[in-house]
Chains A and B, each alone.
Chain A
């Protein structure tokens, strides 16, 4: 970690527009949970909370979007406008820059997503038991956010169109292709996150059944973080400024 870099990144990421956008997005699952609690839903709370609220809204939509927004901006926005030079022309090993940026992007993502997970989860499940559902998804979201942020950060060093590439990955690959071809699920951070959540929540397969086993998910998550992190550092060590256009 490098504190000045981390501080700067935090101020960079939490500008007004981004914060408002993320706050609105994070509010969606909370509102839904409130509607579930005080409305007339027929589904079983644990069923609904894990399959709908957590899996569909938080893990499949909120988590990747938040990670995409923060992960690609943490270093990518500076590479885009040329200010990255002010960080890179300093006697700091580049891996420290990557790690500092990554940790901040990750923590900011987690702050929004975890808040939504815990508040919405407690709202939906309070008094129903199944506290492990909230714990499971909370832990899974923290781990998933790290994997997503690492991948998107590395992507933002590799290409200036990282945001679009990330959108395609999340919505075409994870949203469409993995639904059509089961084998591709081992290459989906969403599935790792769900696998880890199901493992910790230890629900009966009838209630919630992720595609991947917990241990497998954890190993794959770790591999993704390490590989993407290593790629990101390598790319930044060989960072070249474009022609000054």
Chain B
């Protein structure tokens, strides 16, 4: 059962990259803003469809009254992310994007977890240092490969 949910988590990573690529490709054809409108209209359509199919007796009223207004602003951040993503995807190889987004996500993620739970997880930090080290190792491999590729055409010209 744990493995099933581990696989689901793994798949969430695949859909993140796939959606990023598809949206960037559509943005290339019809424009960034237009592609983002399409992304959200399609998203709303299918999330309403899912709600009606899976949870016909849903409640449109929050279960708690103590919801601060900024809880509703996540959707706006989603817009910011998609705009940045559409700009960055054709300019930076997907692997670099994955590394840097991870670094930013992890740093703020650990800070938020710390702030919310008031407890700091040393294992999480230790594990993430390993993860960053692995990413960095691969990043250096990429850099060396790029240097080699830069050298070759220069040699041909001389």
Whether chain B is bound by chain A comes out as no
Which residues of B are at the interface with A, using a C-beta cutoff of 8 A?
none
